[in-house]
Structure 1
């Protein structure tokens, strides 16, 4: 049985989260489309909040 791909917005959010965890700048967002960019930035912001709260070990 084939695995379903995650939709693009879910992937954008996950990639933004990973970028935030690794400490990359939000200026490095690879998406140009407004909706995908918004999801990426949402993931990035979530990761920063998690880092500041001490949920992520550096």
Structure 2
């Protein structure tokens, strides 16, 4: 069945995620690893770094 799912609220994004400086940080952080995949620990570290930059 292709019924649309019922969601409690609309999806919202913080505008800081779309700013060029933060987008570049995310791209650079993800480009550092080997092509393909990165480890779970590296992903968590990258997310913490980006989160601190957004504060």
Do the two structures share a fold, i.e. TM-score over 0.5? no
Report the TM-score when normalising by structure 1: 0.29
Q: Name the structure where helix makes up a greater proportion of residues.
A: 1
